[in-house]
Structure 1
């Protein structure tokens, strides 16, 4: 599901900021090699653009830039807007976990998730969603207009549903599936989702 940077000639042998680029103690050497290959400017961190160039879907299309931004924001623990090797290690595990999840729900092995597969995935995650909602979700995240979503957009869709659900639950204090919010709370909720 991702581009293996080593297959493109292996990691470059660069020095960054006068420091030798050696793996941290105990680092996975293959993952370190991938990190260094993706770090095209040898800065020791990955930008959103560098990370996007390294991630591809099963159909060889690049990851949606919004999905990459979401992932960087999730794993950028020091709020630099970039991913260092330690953060990249966590991000890589996260992607691997999602890849296994995606493959489990891609029952026909097509490399994409259709409406039925998305419904099964969301329900297995505990989201009781309507067919209309799944249609809306597929429409929003279907980049190519084929009625399905690629791996990156599956991750983005699922993360979006989780984020929205978590936000809803902050207002659903009695867990009855209903909330009442005022206009200011609604605007705040929407702005937090689009920040």
Structure 2
């Protein structure tokens, strides 16, 4: 039985090379219908092999605490060129990227979360590029609706309209806002699924829990 919003956090991997500057980065978004392949919390994983290219990027920007905050993430994303010709990510988008994976509520991300984010970003970028065929850095509202559906989310026309109004500027959706939308969709769906133990598509929220889920993203 299918439920609104249940369908994973991205479709199957799409053709395309890894973003410039990120050799060996995993292709595609997290698998549909399940949790992303990278998990864990900062400090709970074994040191990665020296040959892991992502470890070098992580240690180059991580602070003395061995974690990455929003400002450090913004610098990293700009330097690696994952945005390509699109506008670099804003600090606010970087904050919600971290919040999406900040399971221990530190406001920062460890190495496993860092890898998980880049895997998701790669998939979202490829999805965006499918619809931004003129490489203008924007997509039309109806293309945004198609993109959300292609990632496995099933929401009502009213919800889609609300999403488009929230993330469009001048009647178009820019890459930075597109990613911010994808982050929020993934995080809110994950929060909902954790509370929907019977998988009935409905959840009872206490007020404080509702505020925590929505305001932390």
Q: TM-score with structure 2 length normalisation?
A: 0.58
Answer yes or no: is 1:93 the counterpart of 2:116: no
How far the C-alpha of 1:34 sits from its partner, in A, is 2.0
How far the C-alpha of 1:75 sits from its partner, in A, is 2.7
Output one character per residue of 1:138-160: Cα deviation in whole Å (capped at 9) or x when no partner: 33223xx3322233321221333
CA distance in 2, matches of 1:116, 1:79: 35
Answer yes or no: is 1:146 the counterpart of 2:167: no
Answer yes or no: is 1:30 the counterpart of 2:53: yes
Conservation of the 8 A alpha-carbon contact between 2:70 and 2:95 = yes
Answer yes or no: is 1:55 the counterpart of 2:82: no
Answer yes or no: is 1:76 the counterpart of 2:102: yes
Output one character per residue of 1:128-180: Cα deviation in whole Å (capped at 9) or x when no partner: 432x64443233223xx33222333212213334555664994x9765xxx79
Aligned partner of 1:123 in structure 2 is: 149
Q: Give the root-mean-square deviation of aligned CA atoms.
A: 3.7
Which of 1 and 2 has higher RCO (CA within 8 Å, sep 6+)?
2
Return 5+ residue gaps in structure 1 as ranges.
6-23
How far the C-alpha of 1:31 sits from its partner, in A, is 1.9
* Structure with the bigger percentage of helix: 1
Aligned partner of 1:111 in structure 2 is: 137
CA distance in 2, matches of 1:87, 1:190: 24
Give the aligned length.
168
- 1:192 and 1:4, CA in 2 relative to 1: closer, same or farther beyond 3 A? same
Return 5+ residue gaps in structure 2 as ranges.
1-17, 23-46
- 1:122 and 1:43, CA in 2 relative to 1: closer, same or farther beyond 3 A? same
- 1:120 and 1:42, CA in 2 relative to 1: closer, same or farther beyond 3 A? same
